Chain A
Amino acid sequence: MIKGKVAKVSGPLVIANNMSGVQMFEIVRVGEKELFGEVIETKGDLASIQVYEETEGLKVGEEVISTGNPLSVELGPGIMGGIYDGIQRPLKALRDMQGDFISRGISVSALDKNKKWLFQVIAKQGDQLASGDFLGFVQETLLVKHYIMVPPGLSGKLLEIKEGEFTISENIAILKDSDGIEHNISMMQKYPVRIGRPFTDKLQPDEPLITGQRVFDSMFPIFKGGTACIPGPFGSGKTVMQHQLARWSDADIIIYVGCGERGNEMTEVLIDFPELKDPRSGRPLMERTVLIANTSNMPVAAREASVFTGIAIAEYFRDMGYNVAMMADSTSRWAEAMREVSGRLEEMPGEEGYPAYLGSRVASFYERAGKVKTVGNPGRTASLSVIGAVSPPGGDLSDPVVQATLREVRVFWGLDSRLAFARHFPSINWLISYSLYSHEFEKYFEKGELKSFNNIRKWTLKVLEEEAELQEIVRLVGMDALSPNDRLTLEVARSIREDFLQQNSYHEIDTYTSLNKQFLMLKVISTYEETARLAVQKEVEIEAILALPLKESISRMKEIKETELEKLENLAVKVKELITGLVGGRA
């Protein structure tokens, strides 16, 4: 144990002397109040420490004590449904101990050490086990089977394993390693947050993450194990989209990190998630969710740690074989926390005052996503998808954080304030967004039932592109100058925008759309286009087609229940009949 003394205090940064021997990224306790801090720089016997709690009142000369451990998370049963601050202190326990306002210097265990869990055995006595192998499991919630694995770095022969009710600190197994040393294993393990958990192999993502959001699933899909970013100015709906993804994604586990965002938004998640039902299992969404809430007014250094705390928990569940999705809202605040600490360290600034290592930090975060073959037996493939919101100043995409992120992520959902002003939500601009999984997406559908999805998707993107070009012409010469064919294209594009892309998160049915329904909706619009195009060729007046009483039923497609999808098929038939009827009338 190393004991030093505070030499300087400047906001969240404390410099201590007499600290020689302390390791980088080691946790230290600072001052009489024993505030949590992490060593981020050492020079001679000086150590720079970022402190995770308010440093008000801290004096020069107070003691700094090293703990010998890096910043770690506690992993084990009891973590599901939890809500933590940036350094994994449970907010509920903090409230019970200190009341409605957060104060300082309190260490609380992240997991409940008294609760007993029913541990069911998988491994057998005498088995040769390596790290990652399943010892057994706890049915933590109805949605989540929490597997207990041999912790990273351990292997050997299983001398003893006990089934029954245990707390997470009681021993459930004894493992004897090759040196003959016996290791007691409990259901809880600790793991440093800044180091990625090991895996056997990284695989190419080959299955889409279905989000129930039409603009994502049909236009710019993300894959399980993929990375995406949502940059946009304030008010463009980043947080609503992140919430929608957390609600409806078909991942097994959701880790939601509210990093430097609004307190009331975290409260909304806290109130909604226990009530919202998972569309597949019908269970409360909270049963598969872990929340990390480090709101903007909570200490800035803990904000920096919060995304790592989140991803360390996410990787733990990935190792059990689950498809995990992590949302980070917003990574800009995380980058700003880095900038603030870097500024106080008087480091040479890079662009916009951000530290020069911004890019590598962003990369090291997103690279922890992926589809992997995990370590351990039984062999399992699992994925960790990461979706980061970015809040660039003024919505300017040349912002260093956006640029550093775009170099890493495979899917870009660009938000557009003009769309938001017109209340076109989700206000994803279809002209600037992209998904580099398009190719995989096509391969995925070639195998499945919805083979023609690929064609219809390409058709949709094409129409939208054509619309953008035609709009330019309309702006110059007016609508009247367009040919009937072009008028039709504009009408179809309008329908795609308003009747398909727009989706109301607060409408009980519209909030989630299955892939099947998305396909059928597009099918209706494309049927409209096809038959209308034919009718125009046969010299039916475009006005006559536009005047057909179809607009309303097409615009109400969104409100059709998932259980009544035949209505969409009927609508396509009706569209065909009515338009062909016009041709018949002429002939």
Chain B
Amino acid sequence: MITKEYLGASSIAGPLMVVEGVKGVGYEELVEIKSKDRFTLGKVLEVSGDKAVIQLFESPQGLDPQSLRIHFTGKSLRLGVSLEMLGRVLDGLGRPRDGGAPPLAENFIDINGRPINPFSRAYPNEFIETGISSIDGLNVLVRGQKLPIFSGSGMPHMRIAAQIVRQAKVLKSGESFAVIFAGMGITFEEANFLIKDFEASGAMERTTVFLNLANEPVIERIAIPRVTLTLAEYLAFNHNYHVLVILADMTNYCEALREVSAARKEIPGRRGYPGYMYTDLSTIYERAGRIQGKIGSITQIPILTMPEDDRTHPIPDLTGYITEGQVFLSRALHRKGIYPPVDVLPSLSRLMTKGIGAGKTREDHSDLSNQLFSAYARGREARELAIILGEGALLDVDKKFLRFADVFETRFLRQGEYESRSVIETLEKSWQILSLLPVEELKRVRKEFITKYLDKYLSQVGDVQEENIL
């Protein structure tokens, strides 16, 4: 195929470059831009007559529009993928940033991917044990799920992500497991903490890191999630890996998207974000999943910091509509010194019901988690009431719920950063704290489960029982 090279762009504004007098340029085509001392990549965002609008993947700093040599490659952006990429730290376009040699590509794949045919999908139903009670007990993660962490600045989302990477296991063995971490606009310290943690736990050799730090050009962030997922798909569907993808921080990605949209003078949607942000995000998140007849899987944990902890902000809002649940971190719990500060009430795992139960975790898991949710919700209501009226004004039963909520936070939610609880431990702990409540209030659990699992904790009486828990 003949490809053409043009001399000089007519304008560069922010991340956009316009080239005129072109012919036969394709939409979304990859563009190579050569200046005196640099080699930059971009892609075609719009073609109209003989004019092409190009989005640059790197900073335009130092580019002189007149002297550029612009080469339209006739192909879309491809990532050279290989197993060698495991253990490496790469940049937003897959080039080494750890000083090593470029990984030898086994195959070149279009980074945009293609949608998985819903008919080919296999339903995610394999439980992943993270060792964290608030997730394993109440917001179960399953293979092939996309479960974001909704956080805010200053909260320990990176530490939770690191803990999940250290502890996550499936209740089966003998499978290949890989982690791909995409750092978009995160600080050096955050990135360094994670890489050091991966190295310390031995996870680094099965981990690939794609990195664009906070001080690096914003527009490089746009390609990172797609590059990451392209490698993930290659590992999962060609090499049978179970891949855990961590995308942090999606807020920075969305801001980069907004920057490009503003530069194109598009009609903005809410808060200046482009109207197609839902579609754009879905082409990232929907690349999680499993496929019938294939062994591997892609599980995504996107992390995003909600501006001002506002969950109705377009970024968490649109994400929540696409992902299969969310894990909310709460500043109030964080201030109380509870780690991990997971606010379980607004948190949710949509794929939970199919991943738990007899044969997967335990038969009582589903009823038990419903019971914990509603009891904790009632305890929180009682707490609000107690703040206004004083604890004395509460009914006896509400006092018990209030006590339950306190114990739930300090004994169930709180756990050590290096403490891994098995799912059975988590479930037993749940029954133990539920024994603080009168049995007739436990309406969400089946009777037979109460006899089978709760009775042993009930034999202990009153204060003794409470001390045992504390």
Interface on A for B, CB 8 Å cutoff? 7-11, 15, 55-61, 83, 91-92, 94-95, 98-103, 233-235, 258, 260, 262-268, 270-271, 293, 295-298, 300, 333, 336, 339-340, 343, 346, 349, 352-353, 391, 393-396, 417, 420-424, 474-480, 498, 504, 506, 549, 551-552, 555-556
Contact = CB atoms under 8 A, between A and B. Distances in A.
A391 B318 CA distance: 10
Contacts of B237: 100
B443 interface: yes
Contacts of A7: 48-49
Contacts of B324: 262, 264
A423 B120 contact: no
Contact of A339 (B23, B46, B275, B377): B275
Interface string B227-260: 0000000000100000000000000000000000
Given A59-B47, A297-B283, A300-B279, A422 B374 contact: yes
Contact of B317 (A59, A98, A103, A393): A393
Contacts of B121: 263-264, 266-267
Contacts of A9: 27, 46-48
A21 to B, nearest CB: 22
B443 A343 contact: no
B128 interface: no
A297 B286 contact: yes
27 contacts: A7-B48, A8-B46, A8-B48, A9-B27, A55-B27, A57-B26, A57-B76, A60-B25, A98-B117, A100-B291, A101-B117, A102-B117, A233-B320, A263-B116, A298-B115, A336-B275, A343-B276, A353-B269, A393-B318, A394-B313, A420-B348, A421-B346, A421-B377, A422-B374, A423-B373, A506-B366, A552-B443
Contacts of A551: 440
A37 to B, nearest CB: 13
A100 B116 contact: yes
Given A94-B119, A393-B318, 5 more contacts: A101-B117, A265-B350, A297-B283, A423-B373, A423-B377
Interface in B383-420: 385, 388-389, 393-395, 398
A422 B373 CA distance: 6
Contacts of B27: 9-10, 55-59
Given A103-B114, A340-B279, A422-B378, A506 B48 contact: no
Given A56-B27, A60-B24, A235-B326, A475 B119 contact: no
Interface in B257-290: 266-270, 275-276, 278-279, 282-283, 286-287, 289
A271 B122 CA distance: 9
Contacts of A271: 123
A59 B3 CA distance: 13
Which 4 pairs from chain A and chain B are nearest by CB? A394-B312, A296-B282, A422-B377, A478-B393
A56 B385 contact: no
B161 interface: no
Contacts, number: 215
B314 interface: yes
Contacts of B205: none
With most chain A CB atoms within 10 A of its CB, the pick from B24, B440, B443 is B443
Nearest to B369: A423
B28 interface: yes
With most chain A CB atoms within 10 A of its CB, the pick from B119, B145, B378, B393 is B119
Contacts of B318: 393
B437 interface: no
A296 B278 contact: yes
Contacts of A10: 27, 45-46, 48
Contacts of B144: 264
Interface string B111-137: 011111111111110000000000000
A298 B190 CA distance: 34
B67 interface: no
Nearest to B264: A10
B312 A297 contact: no
Interface in B287-331: 287, 289, 291-292, 294, 311-314, 317-318, 320-322, 324-326
B118 A266 contact: yes
Contact of B123 (A258, A267, A394): A267
Nearest to B144: A264
B278 A333 contact: yes
B29 interface: yes
A267 B320 contact: no
A59 B394 CA distance: 71
A295 B118 contact: yes
Nearest to B28: A56
Contacts of A393: 270, 312, 314, 317-318
B114 A102 contact: yes
Contact of B278 (A267, A336, A395): A336
Given A264-B124, A264-B289, A56 B25 contact: no
Contacts of B116: 100-102, 263
A60 B321 contact: no
Contacts of B398: 479
Contacts of A421: 345-346, 373, 377
B320 A234 contact: yes
A343 B269 CA distance: 10
With most chain A CB atoms within 10 A of its CB, the pick from B46, B279, B311 is B279
A100 B278 contact: no
A293 B313 CA distance: 28
A10 B388 CA distance: 57
A301 to B, nearest CB: 11
A102 B291 CA distance: 13
B50 interface: yes
Contact of B374 (A95, A99, A265, A423): A423
B176 interface: no
A95 B119 contact: yes
B48 A101 contact: no
A395 to B, nearest CB: 7
B269 A267 contact: no
Contacts of A101: 113-117, 120
Nearest to B283: A297
B353 interface: yes
With most chain A CB atoms within 10 A of its CB, the pick from B145, B289, B348, B385 is B348
Contacts of A391: 321
